[in-house]
Structure 1
Amino acid sequence: QLGEEINVSVPLYPNEHFYIITEPMKDLPQNLPVLRDYNACLYLKEDAGKMLVGIFEPNAKPAFKETGRVPDDFSFGELPDDFDHFEPYLEKSFHRLPMLESAGIRKFFSGPESFTPDTQYLLGETPEVKNLYTCCGFNSIGIASSGGAGRVTAEWMINGHINEDLFSLDIKRFQKFHSSKNFIMERVTETLGDLYGMHWPFKQHNTSRNQKLLPYHEELKNAGACFGVAGGFERPMWYSLNGKDPKYEYSFNYQNWYPSAKHETLNARKNVGLFDFSTFSKFDLKGEKTHQELQKLCTANIKNEIGKTTYTHMLNEDGGIETDLTVVCMDKNYFRIVSSAATREHDKYHILKYLDGDVSFKDVTEDICCLGLFGPKSREMISKISNDDFTSDKFKFGTGKFIMINDIKIWAQRLSYVGELGFELYVESSFAKNLYEILIDEGKNFELSHCGMHAMDIMRMESGFVHWGHDISPEENQYQAGLKFAISYKKNVNFIGKDALLKIKDQKLDKRMMMFTLKDSKPGEPLLLHEEPIYMDDKIIGRTTSGNYSFCYDKNLSFGYVNSGNTFETLKDKNIYIEIEKQKYPVEVLEKPLNNKDFKN
C-alpha cells in the first residue's frame, strides 16, 4: 500500500496466521527444542512454561479479504478467530506431542503475516523510483534472515549493485501484475504453505495461473503441452506422449517428463523441432545515439549494419555479469535487444539506468511472438513455405532479415541456443497463430515435433551454452565463465565495467567454468541440478551450476566452477567427483561440448 501511493509495485500481501498458547504445563521439559513437523505443517516451542503451537498450512486464508487493504489504523491488531480452520492441525500436534491433548488453551491468536508470490524476500532498488530500496517480504523468517539481508542491502545501497547471485531475492524478478489484487491475494494462499512444503525440483505454482497466454495457447495445450510460468507467461515445458496427462509428478530422481524430453531432443537433432521463444524479453531502441549508447552498455563491439546480430553482456562497474543478451540491428538507428524471459524487469532496469534519454526505449515483449525452428531439416522445411533464399551464402549465421510466409511479414534470425541449424521467426502477435498453424501443417512432411523448455535447456547444455541465473550472474566475470570472446577492447568506448575487466584480465583466475559428465550415467540416477559440491579426491574444489540428462549422448551432464589453478589439463587425469545426496559420483571433465555439430553453415 505504501508502494502504491508512489506507483511502486511491491508484491506482498498478508495472510491470516494462526497459533495457540496453552495454559502452563506442569511436566513440560524446560530444555525442549523448537520442533517443526513439516508434514503436519506445525511448529511447536516452549514459551515460559507454556507451549506455543503454530501452523504454516496450504490453502491459507488471505487477510482483509473484503477490502484487499490493511486498515490505516491497524497496528499490532488481531483478526477474528477461525478455530475450524486451525483445529485439524491442532489435532495433528497431539500425535507429535501427546501431552498437548490434555492442555488448556490460554490464547488463540490470529494476525496478519505478509507473503510474497514465491516465498522469497524482496531486496534491491525498485525499478520505478531511483534510490528507493526494499528489504521486506521475509515470509515469517525475517529474524533468521536479517543479518545477511541487512549486509547485502547496505552493500547494494552503497555500490548501486550487488556482486552476488541474488536474483532470486531481487524485487526486479517481478512485474507490475504480480502486485495486483487479483494475482497476489490468491497466490499467497499457496506460498504460506510453501514455507513448510516440499521444495521439489521443477515445482510449479498452482494458484494465479493463466495470467499471460500465447496467441496459440489452446493449440499448444491440444498438442499435449505441460505449462510452466516464466516472466508471467504460460510456456510449454514439455509435451506429453501417447495421450498421457501432461502433469508433473514431482521427484528427486527420475522425472516423469524424461520420455518427452528424450523424444523432443532426439527428434530436433535428427529432423526438426518447434520451440516457443515468445516469452523472451524484447526491447526496441531507436534514435541517432542508439549505437553509441549500446557500445557504452555492452562489452562486445555491437555491429552497426542492418541485419547483423551481436551476442554480448552488460556488466556492473565491478565487472559482474548483469545481463546476457543478443543485439540485432533492425534498421538505421534501430536496434532490438533479446534476453531471457525471467529477467525482463531486471534487464530493463539495468539498461534504463545508463541509457541516454535521447534514445527511445520500448518494451515489445508482448507485441511480438517468436517461434524457433531448429534441426537439420529446418532449412528445407522453411524453403517450402517461403520464396526467400535461406541458403548459407544468402542467409549467414548471426544475421537477420525480413521474409514473407503466406503474406505474413516475419523477421527471421539465424541464431541457435540449442546447437542446431535453424531460424528464430519474430512475428507480430496478431499474426502469430497463423504462422504457428502454417509451421505445424508443413511440419507434418518433415517429422516436426513440438519442443518444450526442458528440451531447450538440455540441448543448450549439450552445446556448451551458459544460462544467466545459473551459470553466470553478477557473481562471475566473463573470464571466469569462459566468455572473453564477448569482450572488445578494440572499440574506442569506455564501456561499463571495462576498467574492472582490465584489472581482472591480467590476474590469475580464482575460479573457472567447466563441463562434466558422470562416468556411470542413468536418467535421474542421480538427479543433477545445481549447487552440488565438486571434489578432487576428498577435497571440495568447486560447485555445480546446471545439470541435465542428455538423451542424445546418454550422459548425465553438469556445468560448474572449480577454484583457482584448476584447468582441463590439471584435472583430466585426476579423481574428480560430484556429490549428490551424500554420495560421490566419479565424473569426466569435458574439454569440448558434447554437441560439436557445425550448425553455423
Structure 2
Amino acid sequence: MGSPRVVIIGAGIVGANLADELTARGWDQITVVDQGPLPLTGGSTSHAPGLVFQTNASKTMTEFARYTVEKFVGMDVDGEWCFSRLGGLEVATTLERLADLHRKQGWATSWGIEGTVLDPQECVKLHPLIDESQILGGLYVPTDGLAKASRAVVALARRSEARGAVFRGLTKVTGIEQGNGRVTGVATSNGVIPADIVVSCAGFWGPNIGAMVGMNVPLLPLAHQYAKTDQIPELVGRNSELAEAGFPILRHQDHDLYYREHGDRLGIGTYAHRPMPVSLRDLEESDAVSACDMPSMLPFTGEDFAPSWEQSRRLLPSLESAKIDTGFNGVFSFTPDGGPLVGESADVAGFWIAEAVWVTHSAGVARAVAQLLVDGRSEIELHGCDVHRFEEIQLAPDYVSETSQQNFVEIYDVLHPLQPRVSPRNLRVSPFHARQRELGAVFLESGGWERPHWFEANASLLEYLPEEWTPPARDAWSAKFHSPIAAVEAWRTRTAVAMYDMTPLRRLEISGRGASSLLDHLTTGKMDKSIGSVTYTLALDHAGGVRSDLTVTRLSADTFQVGANGNLDLDYFRRQMPGDGSVQIRDITGGTCCIGLWGPRARDLVQALSSDDFSNESFKYFRSKNARIAGVPVTAMRLSYVGELGWELYTSADNGLRLWDVLWQEGHQYGVIAAGRAAFNSLRMEKGYRAWGTDMTTEHNPYEAGLGFAVRRQKEEFVGRMALEGVGDATVTRRLACLRVDDGRSVVLGQEPVFLDGRPAGYVTSAAFGHTVGAPIAYAWLPASAAPGTPVEIQYFDRRVAATVVAEPLVDPEMKRIKA
C-alpha cells in the first residue's frame, strides 16, 4: 500500500518545506497548490526580508529556528545560496535593553545556541555603520543570518519534485471535499484533487481555507513596513550582487527596527508604526506577480515610517545623506499569543493546518508536521503551537483582532514572564470574583481567566509575620508582579487555613459504560477502583513522553471527573473516544467552581459547617465523597497541591458564592485568609509537585520527570507502555532536579541556564522563593549524575548564582502534614 495522498495548500516557505520533509520520509503522492504563479506566489514568503534570529524565550521556537538554519545552510539553487550565516547583532541603547540582552543570551545558552554580549566597540567592529556613542552593547549570535526565502522555495520544490511531488500554480482552492467526517479531496479552479490528507499552509489566507471545513483559524493579517534606501557610499563595493550582505543582520529593538544590506543599499523593517489590520476581502488576487507587485505588498505609507527613519539615522549616521528609494507595507500573520498554529481539525479528520509561521521557523515547523503525519508525534514538543490551545472565548474575532494587534505592538518590548494582558480582561471570572475584589485581589490573567496572585487585604498581617518567614528584598526584575504579601499567604496556609480559587483548572466529565476502559487505555494509572477513589496519573504519547498529568476521580460506576491541564487534553480525549457511543465527554469547568481549602485548621473549619464526617478515619487522603457544607452540596476531594491537609471543594457555579461566604464567615475563628497563585506556586514547589508544560512535556518521560510513581507497570496495556520497557529511575541520563540557592536571596524566574563544573548543563523550569524553607528554590533539567549535594550555578542576567542540588520534597517528605 502506497503513502497517503496529500494536498498542501500554499507553495510558500512552509508548504514547500513540508513537501520536502514528507518526500524525504518516502511519501510520494504529494500535490502542492497555490492560487499565485510559481515560484513567486505573492504571499508573505515572496517579500520576506529573511532575517533569521534564532533565540526565543520558547525552547520550541528556538529549536524550529535552529533547524531552519541547519537545513537552509546546506541548500543552494544553481550555486546561489539559500542561507548566509552572517551572524545576528541586537543592540541596546538603554540599560533595560542591555539587561534584557543578557537575559536573552541566557535563553540562547539554555537552548544550546552560542551567543555573547559585546561592548560597544566590539559591536562596531562587527557592524561599522553603527554609531558607537548611541549604544551600550549588543548580543551577537554567530549562527544567525539571512535566509533567501524565495530562492529556498525553488530549492525545496526542485528537491520535492525529484522525489515525486507535484507543484501546481494558478490553482485556486474553492472548497474541501469531505465524506464520513474525513477529507476526500480539494476542489480547485482546475478541478478536484483527491486527498487523504490536506494541510493548509496558506499563511494569511489561512482563515479562509479553515472556514471551508468550519475550522476557526485565530490569525490576523497585519501590514508591516519595509523600506530600502538609495545607495549608501559606505556600502559601495563591499558586497557582490550574489552575496548581497556582509555585516551581521541587525536589530534596534528599543525602536522596533531591524536592518539588512541589499548590496550597496540598506533594508529597514519597522514595527514602530500603528497596527494595520488587513481584510482579506480587500486583497487583490493576481496572476501577474512580480518581485515588486504582489497581493501581499500594499502601498507604502511614508508618514508611518517617518519616526523610524529618524531613529535609523541616529543609530546609523551613514543614512544622514540617504533617501528612501522604495518601500511597501507587507502582509504577515499574527496570532493572539504570537505562536504558530499547528494541528488537525477537531471535526474533519485529515484536515491539518500549519499557519502563522515565519521564515525563521518554517523548516522546523514543517519537520514537526511531517513527523506528526508520518510518525504520529513530533520530536519537539508542540503544546505552545497547537491550534487547539486556545479557549473558546479566545477564538472570537474581536479577541483575535485585539490581541494580535497587541502582539504586533509588543513584538520587541521587554516583557516580564508574569506580565498580564492589559486588555481584554474580565472575560472569565469565578463565582468568587466579587469577594476577591473586595479583598483587594491583584489579578493576573491566563486563558481568559482572572486569577488572584495575592490579596492586599492580607498586607496588615505583614507586621505579624515571624522573622523566619520574612523574605529578603528582591531585585527589581524578580519583584515585578510580586508582593511580599505572598509570604503571609504561604505562612497562614502552613500554620492556619487558606482558601484558594481553583476554578480555572480544567474539569472534564467522562462518563458511560466505556469510560473506565478509555481512561485505563489513555493513562498510566489503575482506573477500575472503588467509587470515591482519586488517582494522580499521566497521559503519555506513544514514545512515552508526558502528554499531560491528570487527577481522575471516580464519582460513580460510569462517571469520572478529570482534572486536566487545558483545552489540549479535552481535544485529545475527544479524539480517542470510541465511535460506538459508549463514552460521553463534557467540559464542566464553566458550570462548576472549586475552592482549595488547605492548612492544618482546614478540617476544623469544614467540620464545623457539615454533619458529614471529615475525620481522617472516615475521609482518607486521595478519596472523594459528596457532602454538604452549610447546606451547599459539594464534591469534596481530599488532595492538596500545596502539601497541606485539606480538600478541593467543588460545587455548581450557582452555589459558589454561598460556599465562599459560609467558609469565610466561619473561618475567621480559625485564622482563614484568601490566598493567591504566588503563594500557591511557592508551596507546590516546596512539596515537589510538577507543573505540566513548564516542568515537563512530551520531550520527557515519567522517570526523568520524577513521576515514575504514577506509572502502574502491572497494567498490561496503556498508551506509551511499550516505550517505557527497560526505562526506570536507574536508567535515565537526565532528571528534573530541585535546586536551593546558596545565598538565600537571589530569586530566579525560569528558563535560565544552569552550569555544572563551569559548563552549560541544563535549564531552569520553575522557580520561586520557598517561604517555608526560607530560600529561593528552582527546578531544572540536569544530567542524572547531578545528585543531591552537587554544586551548580544559575546564570541570572549577567551574573552566576550559586545553588545546590537538594533532595526533594523540601517540605513534609514523610507526608505527615498532608495525611494528618
Q: CA RMSD in A?
A: 2.5
**Corresponding residue for 1:350?**
572
**Corresponding residue for 1:472?**
696
Which of 262, 278, 285 does residue 73 from structure 1 map onto? 285
Matched-pair contact (CA < 8 Å) for 1:402–1:410: yes
Matched-pair contact (CA < 8 Å) for 1:312–1:324: yes
**Corresponding residue for 1:135?**
354
Post-superposition Cα deviations, 1:343-372, rounded to whole Å, max 9, x if no partner, equal x22111222232223211111111111111
Alpha-carbon shift at residue 404 of structure 1 (Å): 1.3
Matched-pair contact (CA < 8 Å) for 1:299–1:495: yes
Say whether residues 1:590 and 2:810 are aligned partners: no
Post-superposition Cα deviations, 1:164-195, rounded to whole Å, max 9, x if no partner, equal 33322222221343232110111111101332
Matched-pair contact (CA < 8 Å) for 1:133–1:157: no
Matched-pair contact (CA < 8 Å) for 1:545–1:560: yes
Are the structure 2 counterparts of residues 85 and 384 from structure 1 closer, same or farther at C-alpha, using a change threshold of 3 Å?
A: farther
Alpha-carbon shift at residue 77 of structure 1 (Å): 4.2
Alpha-carbon shift at residue 226 of structure 1 (Å): 2.1
For residues 570 and 687 of structure 2, the distance between their equivalents in structure 1, rounded to whole angstroms, comes to 28
Secondary structure, counterpart of 2:704 in structure 1: coil
Alpha-carbon shift at residue 465 of structure 1 (Å): 0.8
Matched-pair contact (CA < 8 Å) for 1:81–1:109: yes
Are the structure 2 counterparts of residues 199 and 131 from structure 1 closer, same or farther at C-alpha, using a change threshold of 3 Å?
A: farther
For residues 336 and 541 of structure 1, the distance between their equivalents in structure 2, rounded to whole angstroms, comes to 40
**Corresponding residue for 2:783?**
563
Matched-pair contact (CA < 8 Å) for 2:752–2:796: no
Are the structure 2 counterparts of residues 423 and 39 from structure 1 closer, same or farther at C-alpha, using a change threshold of 3 Å?
A: same
**Corresponding residue for 2:15?**
none
Q: Choose 451-460 or 43-52, whichever is displaced more.
A: 43-52
Are the structure 2 counterparts of residues 69 and 7 from structure 1 closer, same or farther at C-alpha, using a change threshold of 3 Å?
A: same
Say whether residues 1:538 and 2:734 are aligned partners: no
Matched-pair contact (CA < 8 Å) for 1:264–1:451: yes
Alpha-carbon shift at residue 399 of structure 1 (Å): 0.8
Matched-pair contact (CA < 8 Å) for 1:519–1:588: yes
Counterpart residue type for residue 264 of structure 2? G
Q: How does 1:395-544 map to 2 (within 5 A)?
A: 395-491=619-715, 493-505=716-728, 508-522=731-745, 525-535=746-756, 537-544=757-764
Matched-pair contact (CA < 8 Å) for 2:753–2:794: yes
Q: Runs of 5+ in structure 1 lacking a partner? A: none
For residues 713 and 791 of structure 2, the distance between their equivalents in structure 1, rounded to whole angstroms, comes to 39
Are the structure 2 counterparts of residues 125 and 237 from structure 1 closer, same or farther at C-alpha, using a change threshold of 3 Å?
A: farther
**Corresponding residue for 1:115?**
334
Q: How does 1:68-107 map to 2 (within 5 A)?
A: 71=283, 73=285, 76-79=295-298, 81-107=300-326
Counterpart residue type for residue 556 of structure 2? D
Which of 320, 332, 335 does residue 545 from structure 2 map onto? 320
**Corresponding residue for 1:267?**
492
Post-superposition Cα deviations, 1:477-511, rounded to whole Å, max 9, x if no partner, equal 112122222112323x4111111112424972121
Which of 9, 33, 36 does residue 251 from structure 2 map onto? 36
For residues 18 and 126 of structure 1, the distance between their equivalents in structure 2, rounded to whole angstroms, comes to 33
Alpha-carbon shift at residue 325 of structure 1 (Å): 0.5
Alpha-carbon shift at residue 71 of structure 1 (Å): 4.6
Which of 556, 561, 566 does residue 336 from structure 1 map onto? 561
Say whether residues 1:305 and 2:530 are aligned partners: yes
Alpha-carbon shift at residue 250 of structure 1 (Å): 11
Counterpart residue type for residue 533 of structure 1? V
For residues 242 and 403 of structure 1, the distance between their equivalents in structure 2, rounded to whole angstroms, comes to 30
Aligned length: 580
Matched-pair contact (CA < 8 Å) for 2:793–2:800: yes
Are the structure 2 counterparts of residues 264 and 126 from structure 1 closer, same or farther at C-alpha, using a change threshold of 3 Å?
A: farther
**Corresponding residue for 1:196?**
412
Post-superposition Cα deviations, 1:131-187, rounded to whole Å, max 9, x if no partner, equal 33332213xxx2222232222222122122224333222222213432321101111
Q: Choose 10-19 or 541-550, whichever is displaced more.
A: 541-550
Are the structure 2 counterparts of residues 333 and 204 from structure 1 closer, same or farther at C-alpha, using a change threshold of 3 Å?
A: same
Secondary structure, counterpart of 1:253 in structure 2: helix
**Corresponding residue for 1:547?**
767
For residues 265 and 457 of structure 1, the distance between their equivalents in structure 2, rounded to whole angstroms, comes to 10
Alpha-carbon shift at residue 322 of structure 1 (Å): 0.7
Are the structure 2 counterparts of residues 530 and 24 from structure 1 closer, same or farther at C-alpha, using a change threshold of 3 Å?
A: closer
Secondary structure, counterpart of 1:258 in structure 2: coil
Counterpart residue type for residue 550 of structure 2? L
For residues 407 and 242 of structure 1, the distance between their equivalents in structure 2, rounded to whole angstroms, comes to 29
Secondary structure, counterpart of 1:52 in structure 2: strand
For residues 97 and 113 of structure 1, the distance between their equivalents in structure 2, rounded to whole angstroms, comes to 27
For residues 447 and 390 of structure 2, the distance between their equivalents in structure 1, rounded to whole angstroms, comes to 8
**Corresponding residue for 2:210?**
3
Alpha-carbon shift at residue 295 of structure 1 (Å): 1.1
Counterpart residue type for residue 119 of structure 1? G
Q: How does 1:203-222 map to 2 (within 5 A)?
A: 203-222=419-438
Q: Tell me the percent identity.
A: 28
Post-superposition Cα deviations, 1:459-487, rounded to whole Å, max 9, x if no partner, equal 11000111111222111111212222211
Matched-pair contact (CA < 8 Å) for 1:276–1:372: yes
Matched-pair contact (CA < 8 Å) for 2:753–2:761: no
* Bigger CA radius of gyration: 2
For residues 510 and 725 of structure 2, the distance between their equivalents in structure 1, rounded to whole angstroms, comes to 29
Counterpart residue type for residue 394 of structure 1? S
Secondary structure, counterpart of 1:430 in structure 2: helix
Post-superposition Cα deviations, 1:506-536, rounded to whole Å, max 9, x if no partner, equal 97212122211011111xx24241342241x
Counterpart residue type for residue 511 of structure 1? R
Matched-pair contact (CA < 8 Å) for 2:283–2:296: no
Counterpart residue type for residue 15 of structure 1? L
Q: Choose 576-585 or 72-81, whichever is displaced more.
A: 72-81
**Corresponding residue for 1:166?**
382
Q: Runs of 5+ in structure 2 lacking a partner? A: 1-206, 239-245, 287-293, 461-473
Counterpart residue type for residue 572 of structure 2? H
For residues 215 and 578 of structure 1, the distance between their equivalents in structure 2, rounded to whole angstroms, comes to 41
Are the structure 2 counterparts of residues 321 and 32 from structure 1 closer, same or farther at C-alpha, using a change threshold of 3 Å?
A: closer
Alpha-carbon shift at residue 58 of structure 1 (Å): 7.4
Matched-pair contact (CA < 8 Å) for 1:44–1:52: yes
Say whether residues 1:17 and 2:224 are aligned partners: yes
Q: Choose 415-424 or 28-37, whichever is displaced more.
A: 28-37
Q: Choose 275-284 or 508-517, whichever is displaced more.
A: 508-517
Matched-pair contact (CA < 8 Å) for 1:200–1:250: no
Are the structure 2 counterparts of residues 505 and 575 from structure 1 closer, same or farther at C-alpha, using a change threshold of 3 Å?
A: closer
Alpha-carbon shift at residue 386 of structure 1 (Å): 2.1
For residues 497 and 198 of structure 1, the distance between their equivalents in structure 2, rounded to whole angstroms, comes to 40
TM-score normalised per structure 2: 0.67
Q: How does 1:565-580 map to 2 (within 5 A)?
A: 566=785, 568=787, 571-572=788-789, 574-580=790-796
Post-superposition Cα deviations, 1:391-450, rounded to whole Å, max 9, x if no partner, equal 111111111111112332111111011101111111111221222222222233222222
TM-score normalised per structure 1: 0.90
